[in-house]
Amino acid sequence: MNNQSIPHIGQIVKILRGKDAGQLAVVLTQADNKFVYIADGDKRKFDQAKKKNLLHLEAQSYISSEVANSLMENGRVTNGKLRYAVMMFRLSTESNAEQRGD
């Protein structure tokens, strides 16, 4: 996140650096001012969340309220909800691209 803004819990981010570059993930928690923990529910499960530098992430405009609410209520989220959030983001961006004629 080049503008140094800290993403919200449940926000979709695009990974810019590392072996997962180009992948999408969901922000689970904030470690500190420079790092967050992310997971996608597929290759990167909730229990094995990855600590990523904010400079290596690009925040997307989509925030999954289901993931955020689950984390707020009981501190956990299912991998299925993470996969669902990423899938919904992909579907929303694909439908937006079709509407614009991309």
Q: What is the pLDDT of residues 24-45, one digit of tens each?
A: 999 999 999 999 999 999 999 9
- pLDDT given for residue 63 in this prediction: 96
Q: Is the pLDDT of residue 2 over 60?
A: no
What pLDDT is stored for residue 102 in this prediction? 63
Q: E strand or H helix at 39, and its extent?
A: strand 35-39
d(CA 55, CA 24): 15
* pTM of the shown model: 0.90
CA terminus-to-terminus distance, the chain? 25
Mind listing the domains of the chain with CATH numbers? 11-100 (2.30.30.140)
Q: For 73-91, what is each residue's pLDDT tens digit?
A: 999 999 999 999 999 999 9
Q: Pseudo-torsion of CA 69, 72, 77, 82, nearest 10°?
A: 50
- The span from the CA of 80 to the CA of 59, in Å, is 21
pLDDT tens per residue across span 5-27:
788 999 999 999 999 999 999 99
